[in-house]
Amino acid sequence: MYKQTIRPVLFLMEPEKVHALLVSCLKCYRHLPWCRCWIRHLYTCSDKQLIWNHLTFRNRIGLSAGFDKGAEIFDELADCGFGFIEVGTVTPDSQDGNPRPRIFRLPQCESLISRTGFNNPGLDVIKRRLEQKSGSYVLGVNINKNPSSEGEQAVADFLRLYKELHPHVGYFTLNWGSVDVALMKQVLQGLAVFRVEQNIHVPLLLKLPADITEEGMDDVIDCTRLYRVDGVIATGPTMERSYLKGYSPAQLQKIGSGGISGRGIGERSLKAVSYLRAHAGKSLLIVGAGGIITPADARRMLDAGANLIQIYSSFIYEGPGIVKKMIQEIK
């Protein structure tokens, strides 16, 4: 029903207008307990639990950061069957992000081009919202520095976010590549010292860009061991456009810059997961993300070595029923 009836209507509107409409609808939906009970019954599908680092994932399918940037509707999104939800990216101060339009659909190849920036309401607002979490799913948060912060101030931004939010979340994610490697290592060192001194063990994940090289992944593996990083997400968007079939160079040039998610990532994420599993061993948690649209894609990612799956574009193109379909496929 979603793909035949609802999606064609939604795709007549700009992506961010659809998202704003969804947020408004879910905020109303949260006050309808009978409806929420029915939705949970409709979309819940049993799967083996994954217990990792004192966290219990009720299933292996999660929602990537970027969908609920402002941490407004995570409880309601979890009703669609997700085992874990990641909100953000969150920065210490509120950010407007890049000028609109900044999200573009590419339906012929089930992809998105996005250049949103880190638009979010900031730490204080996010913290109040995270305190309201309910439900049995795992809640993660993607964090980053303020765009203007450099050097020691950038390190302080990450530490502040971790300190303020750790009582309310199951894990944190940092975007490898969002700051230069040398600064990221300073951040990881500062977080490692803080976690040991304060005896705080909320897990830390690194989200890798799809365009990372094998040498870059080797550097990440070294960092996971040196700075007690608990896992990786492989991967985020790509800047490579060779997999965007059905669109001319002129059409893509008109859209402009931006990271590509969805089918347009090609095999990059799958290859990254395979490489990381082969070289990092079995102990590192790997979350497979990027290019996962169908249940068969999810199965391939798990077979490549991922422990968990994160989706984003699939939720947009396939609808809320995709979570249950993926769980049924991978059981």
Number of Cβ within a 10 Å radius of residue 132: 10
Helical packing angle, 181-198 and 214-226, nearest 10°: 20
C-beta neighbour count of 33 within 10 angstroms:
8
Give catalytic residues, as residue numbers.
Answer: 178
Spatial separation of the C-alpha atoms in residues 154 and 152, rounded to whole Å: 5
